[in-house]
Chains A and B, each alone.
Chain A
Amino acid sequence: MSKKIYEKVDKLPKGGLTVMALNSLDKFVPGQWENLVGFDHTIKQVTGETDEAMVQAIAERAIALFNDKSQGYQRALWMYESVDSASGLLGAAAMANRIGQDTFLGFLKNISPKPEKAQTVDLVVKLVTEVVAFCHINGIPGDSLGDFLSALGDYGGESLMRMAALVSFDGVIPLGADFSGKALNLIKGMGPSDLDNNPTFKGVKEEIPGGNAKGKLSFMTESFESTKGWMDKFVSDKGITQSNVVDNLSGFVEGSKSKLDYLGAFLDVSVKYYEHTGVQTLARRLIERSVAEL
C-alpha cells in the first residue's frame, strides 16, 4: 500500500527520545528547529497561509506530487527511513561487540564489526544519504556547481538540525572531536568487504551511486572528503565537543558520561532523527513547491 505523506506528518512524535535528543542540540543551532507536527499545521507555518480552502488546495497538490513516483519524493522518504532503521541494527551490533571485549565471549568480535569502523561507515553512509536525498527532493538547483553548493550550504531549520545531529551523535560522540579526520583515514583504508558486512550500507546501497561496492566506496570517500571542511567548520563555529554534547544529553540518558560507546549504540537504537527530520524536510519542500505551482 502506498504511504500517505499527510499521515506520516500527522503521526510524527511530539515527544520521546528522538525529540528530546534533537532538542538537546538547540544550544548549538539556537531556534533553528521547531518540531512541526501535523500536515495542515506545517502548511500554515511554512507558507504563512491561513485561508482553509487555500491550505486544503496546497495539501492536495502536495499529496499528488508525493504520490507521483517519477518526482523522487518517495525514494527520498525511503532513504531517510532505511538509513535510520539500518543504523539501529548497527547499534545492536556495537552492543554485542562491546560485550565481546568485556567478557570471555571474545568470539563475538568475529561476528560484529569493530565499533569505530562500523561507526565510520554509519557516519559516511548517512552523509551520502543526505546528498542523494537532497537531489531526489530538490533536483540539482541552479546552473552551475557553485549554485548547487550554495543551495546545499543554505541549510536551515530541520535540515540543519539533522546535520547537527549527524555531526554530534554519529561523529563526535562515538569517534571524538577529530572525528572527521579519523573517519576519513578509516574509510580510505577500507575495502568493499567492509561495506558489504555493514547493515547501514546494506540498508541503502541501491541508492548510492557507483556500479559495485568498490565504486560506491569511492563515491562515499569523495563525498566525505569534500564535505569534511564544512563539518569541521560547523563543529568549531558551534563549539561542539564530546563533553558538552554528552552534558546536554545527560539530562535524560543517565550515567552516560563514562560509557560513551554504549551511549553511541543507545542513540543508534533509540533515536530516529534521520527519519523524523527527513519527513519534516520532505513535507516542507513539497509544500513550498505546491503553493508556488497552484
Chain B
Amino acid sequence: MQLARSLKRLVPLVLILVITLTACSSASSKYDQVQDDTTGSTAPAAVDKTAKKGGTFNQFFPEAAGDYAVVPSQEKQGFAEYKLKRDGETVAMLSINDTISLPAAAAKYENATTMVAGFPSVVQGSTATGLLVNDRYQVKVLSRDASFTEADRAAWLEKFDLQGLAQLEADTKAFRKAQKTAAPAIRITPPNSEPETVPTLVPQPAG
C-alpha cells in the first residue's frame, strides 16, 4: 500500500522529467532549416559536379615574395586555397572558387563600383576583398591579421595571374543552366542533379 502511494506521487514527477528531457533533446537551432534543406535523398549537392577541379587553379596563385610565403591549404572540387604567411604567421588566405556551385557569389559583382586589374571587385564583410573573372571565377584575399589591410588585399589580388585565369572557359552551357535555375541563396544545383558520388579510397585529389 505504502509502495503504491509512493509510486502514485512519483508518476507526475517522472512525467515532468520526461517532458523536460524531450524538450531539451529537440532544442531548435537557427540552422535546423538549412540542415533539413541540405540532407536527405532529394537534397541538392553543395558543389556542382561540373565545377572545375581545384587543381586547375593552382597555376594562377601568386608566388612567394620577399618576407611572404605562400603555402597550399585546400584543394577541393571548384575550390583552391593557399595561406599567405609572414614570419611563420598566417596573415591572409588566398582563394579561387568556381561560382557555378554558388551563383549568388557571382551575382554580388553585378553592382560592383570598383575595378581591380580590370575586373569587378567588392569588399565583403570586414575581412574580405574579391574580384570576379569571366563572370564565373571568384578570386579572394581574406585578412587573418589586423596588420593586413584592405590595401594589402587589393595589392595581393593583383599578384594572381588573372589574365591566365581569364583563359578558362566562362559561359558554358551548364553554367548558364545552373545560373538560370538555381535559387539566389545557399542552395545551388537543380534538384534533378545526379546522385551524390562518394569518393573512392584515399589518398586522391578531391579537387
Contacts and interface: CB of A to CB of B under 8 A. Distances in A.
Nearest to B30: A56
Contact of B72 (A4, A61, A69, A151): A151
A202 interface: no
A51 B126 contact: yes
Contacts of A132: 202-203
B125 interface: yes
Given A6-B29, A70-B199, A289 B76 contact: yes
**Shortest Cβ-Cβ A-B pairs, 9 listed:** A141-B72, A142-B72, A139-B206, A68-B46, A292-B95, A139-B75, A135-B203, A64-B46, A67-B38
Contacts of A135: 202-204, 206
Contacts of B149: none
A47 B105 contact: no
Contact of A150 (B58, B72, B206): B72
A68 B54 CA distance: 17
A141 B80 contact: yes
Interface string A65-98: 1011111100100000000000000000000000
Contact of A289 (B31, B72, B79, B205): B79
Given A71-B47, A141-B80, A293-B97, A61 B186 contact: yes
Contacts of B199: 70, 72, 75, 136
Interface in B41-87: 43, 45-47, 54-55, 58-59, 71-77, 79-83
A246 interface: no
B124 A289 contact: no
Given A67-B38, A292-B97, A209 B201 contact: yes
A276 B35 CA distance: 22
A139 B144 contact: no
Contacts of B204: 135, 140
Contact of A48 (B72, B127, B198): B127
A47 to B, nearest CB: 6
A70 B47 contact: yes
A143 interface: yes
Interface stretch (B10-18, B135-143, B162-170): B135-143
A285 B95 CA distance: 13
A63 B38 contact: yes
A68 B40 CA distance: 10
Contact of A4 (B30, B35, B76, B205): B35
Given A71-B76, A72-B206, A292-B93, 13 more contacts: A60-B31, A60-B186, A61-B102, A61-B186, A67-B35, A69-B196, A70-B45, A135-B206, A139-B207, A209-B203, A288-B93, A289-B81, A293-B102
Interface of B: 29-31, 34-35, 38-40, 43, 45-47, 54-55, 58-59, 71-77, 79-83, 90, 93, 95, 97, 99, 101-102, 104-105, 124-128, 138, 140, 142-144, 186-188, 196-199, 201-207
Nearest to A47: B127
A292 B81 contact: yes
B105 A67 contact: no
Given A47-B127, A47-B142, A60-B186, A288 B101 contact: no
A71 to B, nearest CB: 6
Given A209-B201, A289-B79, A138 B45 contact: no
A50 B105 CA distance: 19
Given A71-B77, A132-B202, A293-B138, A49 B93 contact: no
Contacts, number: 163
Interface residues of A, number: 53
A79 to B, nearest CB: 10
Nearest to A150: B71
Nearest to A148: B72
B186 A64 contact: yes
Given A63-B35, A70-B199, A71-B206, A288 B59 contact: no
B46 to A, nearest CB: 4
A156 B202 CA distance: 23
Given A70-B47, A70-B197, A293 B206 contact: no
A219 B126 CA distance: 45
Contacts of A154: 71, 73, 83
Given A48-B127, A61-B102, A72-B206, A288 B73 contact: yes
A131 interface: yes
A285 B206 CA distance: 14
Contacts of B31: 4, 6, 39, 59-60, 63
